[in-house]
Amino acid sequence: MMNCRTNKILLLTALWSLAAPVMSSTLGIAAEAPKEPSSSGGAQRNFYEVLEDVLGDFEFDLKNGNVHGLKDVSLRNMALSENVPASFRSHLELLITERILKTTKTRIIQCLPCRAKRTTLDGDQVVITSADTNPAELSRIAKMSNIEHFMDIAFSYQPTGIVLSMFITEPETGAIIWSRSYNSETSRAAAFRRGVDYSQVDEARRLTEYTPMVQYRIGVNYMFEPNISGTTGCLGLNFKMVERYDNRKKEVGFEAMYLKDASTIVGDPVAAAASEAAGNLWSGINLTLLFVHGWNLIGEEENFNKVRSGFTLGVGGTYSSGFLGALFQGSYEWRLGKHYSVSTSVGYRPGSTAILPSSATKSVSGLEYGLGINMLF
Q: What is the pLDDT of residues 233-275, one digit of tens each?
A: 999 999 999 999 888 889 999 999 999 998 888 766 666 666 6
Of residues 339 and 26, more confidently modeled: 339
- The whole-angstrom separation of Cα 56 and Cα 65 is 14
- The whole-angstrom separation of Cα 105 and Cα 110 is 16
CB-based contact 157:182 (threshold 8 Å)? no
The domain spans of the chain are 44-208, 213-376
Which H or E element spans position 275? helix 269-278
pLDDT at 117 over 70: yes
Q: Which amino acid is it at 124?
A: D
Phi, psi of 292 (to 5 degrees): -120, 150
152-187 pLDDT tens trace: 999 999 888 899 999 999 988 889 999 999 998 877
- The whole-angstrom separation of Cα 176 and Cα 181 is 14
Which three-class secondary structure state does DSSP give residue 116? coil
Report the CATH number of the 213-376 domain: 2.40.160.20
Establish how many alpha carbons lie within 13 A of residue 333's alpha carbon, considering only the half-sphere containing its beta carbon.
26
Residue 233's Cβ-count burial label (10 Å; 0-12, 13-18, 19+) is middle
- The whole-angstrom separation of Cα 361 and Cα 139 is 56
Report the CATH number of the 44-208 domain: 3.40.50.10610
- Read off the pTM: 0.49
- What is the average pLDDT across 25-53? 57
